[in-house]
Amino acid sequence: MKTRQGGRKKKCSKMKEASEEPQLTVESQSLPRHEFDLLGEIRSLWQEHKQATTENKQGLARVEKSIGEVITRLSVVETRISEVEDRVGQTEDRTTQLERVVISLLQNQDKLMVKCNDLEARARRKNIRIHGVPEGSEKDDVVGFVKDLISTKLKLQNVLDADIERAHRVGSVAQRRSSSRPMVAPRAIIVRFWNYRVKESVIQMAWKQKTIYNGQEIYFNLDYTAETQKQRIRVRDVVKQLRQRGMKAQMRYPAQLKILGDNGNGTKTFARLKDATERLRELDIIIEEDDETEKLKEELSLSWKTVKGHK
């Protein structure tokens, strides 16, 4: 029974194929030659079309499979991008918080530096510096040398050895000898008095006259902190530029800039050089920013803007 049914199925499939394909029947063989050739060509074209359709289906199946793989990969990429965006957002929030903390720390550091500089300046209030005294002039007694210098050159006879707490050269001889400069200026002598008023009388008298020692001019000055000295150098440079432009300017203690009235403008005194930035810009004088805290704040701000610009 199974053999007969299998034979019937084969016959049915053959009959179906015969019905789908153009057949060259006995009647078609009786057709004229050109019509018979035409039927042959039609059958050949049909076979090619059938083969092309099969290949297209296979190609479409491969494309669909590839598209499915791409969609799967895109889904994975989207998930990872979402995770990255979340992490970037968290990092930006954290960066903003850290930026605020850093700025706060910089501000506190700036305040502490101002206080430290003020305390150091107060500790130096009883000190003076004497510049231009040749090396070795004091021999082994710096205090006695300074006392004689004050009494003979400044005519202050009431200043005694007991008024001077200590005196010494700034730096060491080894540092001076190791200097690569061919002409090294003599090291300054720093003098500390027991009494602030004695120190004031000495410095005021020294500023009123020109002091000559062994044919060379020597200078008396206050003992400024390193920060104050740096600021005074910058202010002194600005004063020089203003005077070159025919303006009157002075440097006031400790590092203040005083611009006397010009072109209807009143006299102005600036406690800090950066406070005079706008006025100096009007006079075509550009000063470089020397505030490290402000520089760091600006760098933080610029870096944050750059990150946001690429977002």
Domain ranges of the chain: 32-121, 125-223, 228-309
Please report, for residues 66, 80, 276, 279, the alpha-carbon distance to residue 259 in angstroms, rounded to integers and kept in the order given.
79, 63, 10, 10
pLDDT tens by residue, 270-292: 998 888 888 888 888 888 766 66
**Antiparallel, parallel or unpaired: β 189-193 and 164-169:** antiparallel
pLDDT at residue 48 in the model: 86
Instruction: List pLDDT tens digits, range 124-183.
Output: 999 999 999 999 999 989 999 999 999 999 999 888 888 999 999 998 766 666 665 555
Match domain 228-309 to its CATH number in 3.30.250.20, 3.30.559.10, 3.40.50.1110, 3.30.70.2970. 3.30.250.20
Question: Which numeric CATH code is attached to 125-223?
Answer: 3.30.70.1820
Contacts 24+ apart (CB under 8 A), 201-205: 201/156, 201/159, 202/128, 202/150, 202/154, 202/156, 202/159, 203/128, 205/154, 205/155, 205/156
Residue 4 has pLDDT above 60, yes or no: no
How many Cα atoms are found within 13 Å in the side-chain-facing hemisphere of 93? 6
Tell me what pLDDT residue 169 has: 94
- For 9-30, how does the pLDDT look when each residue is reduced to its tens digit (9 = 90+)? 544 454 444 445 555 554 555 6
Q: How many angstroms separate the CA atoms of 286 and 282, rounded? A: 9
SS3 of 40, please?
A: helix
Q: How many CA atoms lie within 13 A of 147 on its CB side?
A: 14
Q: Mention every residue, 6+ apart, whose C-beta is less than 8 A from residue 196.
A: 125, 126
3-state helix, strand, coil in the chain (%, to 5): 60, 15, 25
- DSSP character string of 256-290: EEEE--BTTBPPEEESSGGGGHHHHHHTT------
